[in-house]
Amino acid sequence: MMYAVMESDLHALSIMNILVKYANDTTLLVTADTDLDLAQEFNNIKHWAAENKMVINLHKTKQIIFRRPSPRLYVYPDPLDQVQLVSWAKLLGRPLLLLKKI
């Protein structure tokens, strides 16, 4: 099953966004100046999972926002439904820390 995810047709919709697949983990990186927002990309992943009879574990799905320490103007993206917004998370067992709490 893991090989199927790695070699699948699951890709980010925008060339500005990055989808990283490793074993049974998938990480989506969406830039602030992207042409497609996080919600659109996440909906694409949910649609792909449904089409391939896979279930996304929303309890393990997290949203984290990285930003510069002192941005002049910053607009936070809308939070995803049923996805917890966190200030830190682990990626492949290593912590990812937000530079400043939101």
The pairing of strands 94-97 and 88-91 is antiparallel
pLDDT for 42 beyond 90: yes
Domain ranges of the chain: 2-97
How do residues 79-102 score in pLDDT, each as one tens digit? 888 999 888 777 776 666 554 444
State the burial class of residue 38 (Cβ atoms within 10 Å of its Cβ: 0-12, 13-18, 19+): buried
pLDDT, position 35: 92
Look over the chain and give the mean of its residue pLDDT values, rounded to a whole number: 80
Check residue 99 and give its pLDDT: 44
Instruction: Indicate yes or no: pTM above 0.85.
Output: no
pLDDT band at 39 (very low <50, low <70, confident <90, very high): very high
